[in-house]
A and B are shown apart, each in its own frame.
Chain A
Amino acid sequence: MKFKNLKAWLYLLPAVLFLGVFMLYPLVDVIIYSFEEGYNSASQTYFGVGGYNYQYVLNDPYFLQALKNTFILVLITVPLSTALSLVISVALSSIKRLRSWFQTLYFLPYVTNTLAVGLVFMILFDQRSQDSIGLINTLLSYVGVDPIDFINGPYWAKMLVLSLYTVWIVMPFKILILTSSLASVDEIYYNAAKVDGTPRWRVFTKITLPMISPTLFYLIITGFIGAFKAYSDAVALFGTNLNANEMNTIVGYIYDMLYGDSGGFPSYASAAAVILFIVVLTITVINLLVSKKNVHY
């Protein structure tokens, strides 16, 4: 028996080592970091223990800006992408010809490099130079809209581009999950509805939606979590100096505190990371509570 124990642990050893060093230890450490005041990484000393780091972060205008940006981004992109992917998935499920073609095509953004394709979006929305405009602006000018600087211009324009790009990026995952969920609804319910002559809309709201509601809530929860961690999409569009662009996100703030021109403050970064974790956890719990009431089985 002893030998058996030893052998099993030998199999587990690599995983335990990796997880211990790069996940478990950092998890404990980051919480300790976040309470150590005035930590100096050169001498590895700190003044005391307390909530100063949290106080600093919560009063930092850059953090408040990042918090605001992240919340706006979440509130725009999660409902929009979920609704749109639901419509697309329902449409996809109702056709037979070309269906797998469309499915493959729609999945393409999932396998692309966020940074690389973000540059294409930037080019499309950018002003090419001082006096010439990019493709989107040219198209807008045909319908009589004055050029808008989407990349360096007004806040709402930048937020619009960021939201559009985020939606474009997250759609493949949602469409994939929803179409497979729609395909798993038992044909028998639809046949029963057909016999009764139920109108399409009623079939959708009374059969389809309740049957896929667990999947829908799963997507909303993962959508919230994903959107709260937005960062590289913003970098792709606006560059690494997100604070100056007033386009930073919470995750971006954490990295900026850690590294780069404004970096070198692991304590502040830790406090911000813990705050992010608490926000995400809270939202997830609320989501779960709501879904308990509304998911039908």
Chain B
Amino acid sequence: MDYEKIKKASARRDIALKTVIYIFLAIWALIVLFPFYWMLLTSVKSYGSYDSDWMSVIPSSPTLENYKTAFSAVPLGGYFANTLIFTLATTAIMLFVTVLAAYAFARLEFKGKDLVFTLFLALMMIPTELVVITNYVTVTELDLRNTFAGLILPSVTSVFYIYLLKENFAQVPDELYYAAKVDGTSDIKYLFKVMMPICKPTIVTITILKVIECWNSYVWPRLVTDDRAYFLVSNGIQEIRESGFGRENVPAMMAAVVVISVPLIVLFLIFRNKIMEGVSRGGIKG
């Protein structure tokens, strides 16, 4: 055997292997995409001809009628507005709380700092399921069921984000702080004018992660709301499935699913690098 032959054979093996790898990856891509494709497809099939048309891969007469039905048969627009208010308010309060706490841990000196920080870290290990029971009782006793306050306040805390931002704040060189102090800059001004702009990437990351978390939250909203006027999209879609048009009118249900899924998918496509980087730095689903 001469060298040329060995080289050719090896190249052929490489090509064969690469082909197998690409086919495998394409199959997984199909599995991931198919449910999205199917919900889009079903959402434009007309209800009237769904029984004969349900399996066609290209709808015979595409229609947007289902989207109309989804918004008129249930208050989907209201669920949407609620979710938007809930997401924005929760994220804003979370940012306020997180930025201040992270700054205190990263830059300020006070007695018992290490102890308090250790306590914070220990809280990271507490699962929501353990505290949700008392929170439910608390919110009920405060008469906050079916209010935005009841929805938002217990959802604010995120010890992990405080930790993440504190680590980032701590990387900002001390010299900047001393220089600002010499110039007579107050702590709060230093935080907003210097620290936050420098650490903007981390702040954007935790904002996006919190938005995703809020948009998809289901369990807590279900516990504290039974008035449809305060339903979020997750509870709305569950309501549609169980007592709405749900399994009767599958195309309309899929239209509702599309409407609920689109905002986050768009957000993801815009910020995909930020989101994936943020999650790989320690995002935990749910």
**Which A positions have Cβ atoms within 8 angstroms of B?**
4-5, 7-9, 11-12, 14-15, 18-19, 21-27, 29-30, 33, 41, 87-88, 91-92, 94-95, 98, 102-117, 119-124, 126, 128, 132, 135, 138, 168-171, 173, 176-177, 180, 222, 225-226, 229, 231-232, 235-236, 239-240, 251, 254-255, 258-259, 266, 269-270, 273-274, 276-277, 280
Q: Which of B32, B42, B98, B222 has the most CB of A within 10 A?
A: B32
If the complex has contacts A8-B110, A113-B233, are A108 and B22 also in contact, measured as CB distance less than 8 A?
A: no
Interface of chain B, helix or strand or loop or mixed? Answer: helix
Q: Give which listed residue, A110, A126, A236, A269, contacts B285 with CB less than 8 A.
A: A110
- Give Cα distance in the complex from A274 to B123, angstroms: 16
Q: Is the CB of A103 within 8 A of B110?
A: no
If the complex has contacts A11-B101, A108-B268, A115-B218, are A19 and B261 also in contact, measured as CB distance less than 8 A?
A: no
By a CB distance below 8 angstroms, the chain B residues around A121 are 35
- Give Cα distance in the complex from A156 to B215, angstroms: 32
- Give Cα distance in the complex from A7 to B107, angstroms: 12
- Give Cα distance in the complex from A231 to B285, angstroms: 13
By a CB distance below 8 angstroms, the chain A residues around B101 are 11-12, 14-15
Q: Is the CB of A22 within 8 A of B153?
A: yes
Q: Is the CB of B268 within 8 A of A111?
A: yes
If the complex has contacts A120-B254, A123-B250, are A23 and B131 also in contact, measured as CB distance less than 8 A?
A: yes
By a CB distance below 8 angstroms, the chain B residues around A111 are 212, 264-265, 267-268, 275
Q: Is the CB of B110 within 8 A of A4?
A: yes
Closest chain A residue, CB of each to CB of B33: A105
- Give Cα distance in the complex from A92 to B55, angstroms: 33
Q: Which of A27, A88, A120, A132 has the most CB of B within 10 A?
A: A120
By a CB distance below 8 angstroms, the chain B residues around A12 are 100-101, 104-105, 116
By a CB distance below 8 angstroms, the chain A residues around B100 are 11-12, 14-15
- Give Cα distance in the complex from A109 to B33, angstroms: 9
- Give Cα distance in the complex from A288 to B256, angstroms: 43
Q: Is the CB of B134 within 8 A of A14?
A: no
If the complex has contacts A26-B134, A115-B218, A229-B129, are A128 and B223 also in contact, measured as CB distance less than 8 A?
A: no
Q: Is the CB of A11 within 8 A of B104?
A: yes
- Give Cα distance in the complex from A203 to B260, angstroms: 45
B11 at interface, CB cutoff 8 A: no
By a CB distance below 8 angstroms, the chain B residues around A168 are 31-32, 35
- Give Cα distance in the complex from A272 to B280, angstroms: 32
Closest chain A residue, CB of each to CB of B272: A104
Q: Is the CB of B257 within 8 A of A24?
A: no
By a CB distance below 8 angstroms, the chain A residues around B36 are 108, 117, 120
Q: Give which listed residue, A7, A173, A251, contacts B279 with CB less than 8 A.
A: A173
Q: Give which listed residue, A30, A113, A123, A231, contacts B216 with CB less than 8 A.
A: A113
Closest chain B residue, CB of each to CB of A24: B123
Q: Is the CB of A120 within 8 A of B38?
A: yes
By a CB distance below 8 angstroms, the chain B residues around A8 are 104, 108-110, 113
- Give Cα distance in the complex from A235 to B111, angstroms: 47
Q: Is the CB of B130 within 8 A of A135?
A: no
Q: Is the CB of A258 within 8 A of B223?
A: yes
**Which B positions have Cβ atoms within 8 angstroms of A?**
18, 21-22, 24-25, 28-29, 31-33, 35-36, 38-39, 42, 51, 54-55, 96-98, 100-101, 103-105, 108-111, 113, 116, 120, 123, 126-127, 129-138, 153-154, 156-157, 159, 162, 187, 212, 215-216, 218-219, 222-223, 233-234, 237-238, 241-242, 247, 250, 253-254, 256-257, 260-261, 264-265, 267-269, 272, 275-276, 279-280, 283-286
Q: Is the CB of B237 within 8 A of A22?
A: no
Q: Is the CB of B218 within 8 A of A27?
A: no
If the complex has contacts A112-B265, A119-B253, are A170 and B241 also in contact, measured as CB distance less than 8 A?
A: no
Q: Give which listed residue, B153, B223, B284, contacts A222 with CB less than 8 A.
A: B284
- Give Cα distance in the complex from A277 to B125, angstroms: 10
- Give Cα distance in the complex from A225 to B22, angstroms: 33
Q: Which of B98, B111, B153, B276 has the most CB of A within 10 A?
A: B276
- Give Cα distance in the complex from A30 to B130, angstroms: 7
Q: Is the CB of A239 within 8 A of B241?
A: yes
By a CB distance below 8 angstroms, the chain B residues around A173 are 279, 283-285
- Give Cα distance in the complex from A109 to B35, angstroms: 10
- Give Cα distance in the complex from A229 to B96, angstroms: 29
Q: Which of A21, A112, A258 has the most CB of B within 10 A?
A: A112
By a CB distance below 8 angstroms, the chain A residues around B42 are 123
Q: Is the CB of B157 within 8 A of A23?
A: yes
Closest chain B residue, CB of each to CB of A91: B21
Q: Which of B28, B39, B280 has the most CB of A within 10 A?
A: B28
Q: Which of B25, B109, B284 has the most CB of A within 10 A?
A: B25
